[in-house]
Amino acid sequence: MTVIAQIGCGYWGPNLLRNFHANPDCSVKFVAEASANRREYVKTHFPGIAVTDNWQEILADTEIEGVVIATPASSHFEITKAALESGKHVLVEKPLSTNVQDAAELAELAQANSLVLMAGHTFLYNGAVRHFRGLMESGDLGQPYYLYAQRLNLGQVRSDINVWWNLAPHDISILLYLMGDELPEGVSATGIDYLQKGVEDVVFAQLVWPNRVSANIHVSWLDPGKVRKVTLVASRKMVVYDDMAEHKISVLDKGFDVVPRSGDAMEYDESAHGELVSRSGDVVFPKIKMPEPLAVEAAHFLDCIRTGAVPLSGPEHAKKVVAVLEAGQRSLAQNRQIMGVPEKVSDS
């Protein structure tokens, strides 16, 4: 049985703690939390787990093999680096760090010490997202044209980070996964700070790949309704992943067919004489197993510790997410100027 500990139990921490506590293959020994109220929460709901206000106490415990880090993004690099240096395997909430240079350093440190380093990009463990990628890999959808992602809601406004760093990591992770983890060649973004000066509440971004596939991302914590959706438009079919719907994946047989038509000389085989005819066929709702993604993520982390397997949301994927975030942030500061991803992300 793998012994783990968790650092941080604020907004997202209780969800992680619940899933690790329920997993029969591990034992949660400690939770470190600076807030006295949150420590009381742990004592009340998980009475068998010890609590401390000093996260470094966890790193000194030789019985603990793995550490789950659920603290603000600004602290991820410091705590993750210390945990790796103490010989602990690490699952750290998204994003891995706030810049690519730090992400690369953490990746190198984990590799040098043969330790598992995994970022909490939970949607990679979502059955619907995995099915979506399978559809793209099958070739049945045709040539991908473009994607667009929407992550909107009213609330959960942050002051320590903007909405780009808060919400976009989810959609960037999904889009990279769907694109076979290939980095876009350019990122542009624009945003506005309505509620707090210098903290964008809404961001519109565009990612462009060398194969002419593009993706738009719209994130906001000012919208009237909760939206969690990714749409793909391809040459043969279209796919909608709607996390708020009963049927998470919809495959739509929609698009345009080129129908030959005769010219003056009856040239049926000339593309110039093809007529574009819209097509609207069946809509399919695949049956997909949907275990809780966090439970799958927790089990995957534990399995990687036991077997030495490379995590699905390991350092390489996590670095690429940070690279796109960083490029988007630079674009926000430069009035939507197109930015390439940082070169450091390609180093391994």
In tens, the pLDDT along 50-97 reads: 999 999 999 999 999 999 999 999 999 999 999 999 999 999 999 999
Query: What is d(CA 8, CA 32) in angstroms, rounded to the nearest whole number?
Result: 6
Query: What is d(CA 104, CA 348) in angstroms, rounded to the nearest whole number?
Result: 8
Mean pLDDT of 107-113: 97
CATH 3.20.20.10 fits 124-284, yes or no: no
Quick check: do 2-122+293-346 and 124-284 share a fold?
no
Grade residue 112 by pLDDT with cuts at 50, 70 and 90: very high
pLDDT in the model for residue 348: 44
CATH topology classification for 2-122+293-346 = Rossmann fold (3.40.50)
23 contacts 295 by C-beta, under 8 angstroms: yes
65 contacts 288 by C-beta, under 8 angstroms: no
Mean pLDDT of 156-180: 95
| Percent of the chain with pLDDT strictly greater than 70 | 94
225-278 tens-digit pLDDT: 999 999 999 999 999 999 999 999 999 998 887 777 655 555 555 555 577 887
CB burial string 156-189: b at 16+ within 10 A, e below: eebeebbbbbbbbbbbbbbbbbbbeeebbebbbb
280-336 tens-digit pLDDT: 788 999 999 999 999 999 999 999 999 999 999 999 999 999 999 999 999 999 988
Q: Is the pLDDT of residue 347 over 60?
A: no
Q: Which residue has the tokens 């991820």?
A: 76
Instruction: Measure CA of the first residue to CA of the last residue in the chain; give whole Å.
Output: 32
pLDDT in the model for residue 221: 96
Mean pLDDT of 110-133: 98
pLDDT in the model for residue 256: 80
Q: Which of 80, 130, 140 is nearest to 110 (CA)?
A: 80
pLDDT in the model for residue 128: 98
Mean pLDDT of 169-176: 98
- Omega prior to 315 cis, within 30 of 0: no
**CB-CB neighbours of 295 under 10 Å:** 16
pLDDT in the model for residue 344: 52
Laid out side by side, the sheet with 50-52 consists of 50-52, 26-32, 2-7, 66-69, 89-93, 117-120
pLDDT in the model for residue 180: 95
What are the residues facing 241 on neighbouring strands? 230, 249
Provide the whole-model pTM.
0.92
Q: Is the pLDDT of residue 279 over 90?
A: no
Q: Which of 32, 29, 11, 33 is nearest to 20 (CA)?
A: 29
Domain range summary for the chain, segments of one domain joined by +: 2-122+293-346, 124-284
